[in-house]
A and B are shown apart, each in its own frame.
Chain A
Amino acid sequence: MPLGARPGQSPQLRELRQSVRRLLGLDDDTAVVIRQLACAEPGCPPLETVIAVLPMNGQARRWALHATAEEITEDDLRAALLTPSSEGA
């Protein structure tokens, strides 16, 4: 399948989204956006996974994990989300 996938068909992204919600204890009004992006920075892997959390009220936060969504384990995710290095928008 060339670049770009059929919308809503990726079980990895669905699971990742559920894990983000659970680990951060997010309410239904908080949006979680996940996208694999090709990173143009030198030394970065071809694909990274960007996770953004946008509460209805309050500042958005964002994390970039240097791995594909498929490669991210629950431990990786927990370590990334629970460190204070999350980036505000």
Chain B
Amino acid sequence: MTTPTPEEPRDERVPVTVLTGFLGSGKTTLLNRILTEQHGMRIAVIENEFGEVGVDDALVLDSEEEIFEMNNGCICCTVRGDLIRILGALMRRREKFDHILIETTGLADPAPVAQTFFMDDEIAAQLRLDAIVTLVDAAHVLQHLDEVKPEGVENEAVEQIAFADRIVLNKTDLVDESAIAEVTARIRAINSGVQIIPAQHAEIYLPQVLDVGAFDLERVLAEDPSFLTETEHQHDTTVTSVGIDLIGELDEERLNRWLGTLLRTKGVDIFRSKGILALAGAPKQYVFQGVHMLLVGEFGRDWRDGEERRNRLVFIGRDLDREALERGFADCLATAGAAA
């Protein structure tokens, strides 16, 4: 569980880790390690196929991917119907586990999985998305990233990296230093703030991926203050990150209008958004996380005495217009004059 500060109550929601990665990336190896290692956590696993290892203590549930559209034809509003059904039943056995891990298939789009935790009030009240962990095969990821897809078909490898909070760069023993540097640069070009964990045979220190609070922006920023805005190195890629760091207080109405319009019109291309904002007149920080057009936000900690009112946010997505995003956001400042 996330460590509470004296200012906030303990978060009792069950942390959920989503494990993605292409076939051959080492996902099953990592999952088997999580299931068999003595780490002291009771983990309920939802996977697409039963694993090959015998598991005595863990709760393992099989699930078949079912994409459910909440809104006709809107990809931003797709959720995983199978997860909704299973999670409800699982939560009635709440005393049997401390953590949920969801393994997706190699070709799965992470969006419907993530959106499942943003779609419904009741699910969001009981479960918190802790992190999206993507396994990457250091030896083969570049060919997956460079694969040209037919018009309208997503490159799943790019999406899985764009959505990730943690990337396990696996099989580093099969490539040399320069290849690792190249893969790292390509990953950073897509998702600049992601934490990359090099590994061989998926051997990682599990606390690096379990219960890390990657969706808890305050915790992330405490560990890496530049997380939201370290996006200066642009590469020739259509999926990128845009970070904004702006001093000042925001006009809530203008912010609502801008963010609402942005997510409604560009939500398909904005994979993830996150930020900590200073609303004019609010004594607390406003913290939000979004997946496509779905967004969950709440007030966080108090602004401290003398602390500069500062807004930090990041968008990760396809064909992002950095200038338009910066300009649109700057127009939300309370000091920006008449409403845009």
Which residues of A pack against B, CB within 8 Å? Answer: 1-10, 13-14, 17, 28-29, 31-35, 37-40, 46, 50, 52, 54-56, 60, 62, 64, 87, 89
Contacts and interface: CB of A to CB of B under 8 A. Distances in A.
Contacts of A60: 68, 81
Interface residues of B, number: 44
Interface in B241-300: 252, 255-256, 259-260, 263-265, 277, 279, 286, 288, 290, 293-299
A54 B85 contact: yes
Nearest to A6: B298
A56 B85 contact: yes
B282 to A, nearest CB: 10
Interface in B77-114: 77, 79, 81, 84-85, 87-89, 92
Given A31-B87, A46-B260, 10 more contacts: A4-B295, A8-B125, A32-B122, A33-B84, A35-B120, A37-B77, A38-B263, A55-B85, A87-B72, A89-B66
Contacts, number: 110
B71 interface: yes
Contacts of A89: 66, 68-69, 81
Contacts of B179: none
Instruction: Give the top 3 A-B pairs by smallest Cβ distance, nearest first.
Output: A8-B125, A7-B124, A4-B297
A79 B264 CA distance: 29
Given A2-B297, A52-B68, A34 B120 contact: yes
B175 interface: no
Identify whether the interface residues of A are mostly helix, strand, loop, or mixed: loop
A33 B120 contact: yes
A3 B77 contact: no
B119 interface: yes
Given A2-B256, A52-B70, A31 B88 contact: yes
Interface of B: 66, 68-72, 74, 77, 79, 81, 84-85, 87-89, 92, 119-126, 252, 255-256, 259-260, 263-265, 277, 279, 286, 288, 290, 293-299
Given A3-B263, A7-B125, A89-B69, A31 B295 contact: no
Contact of B71 (A4, A31, A50): A50
Nearest to B127: A7
Contact of B121 (A28, A34, A55): A34
A29 B211 CA distance: 28
Contacts of B277: 2
B119 A33 contact: yes
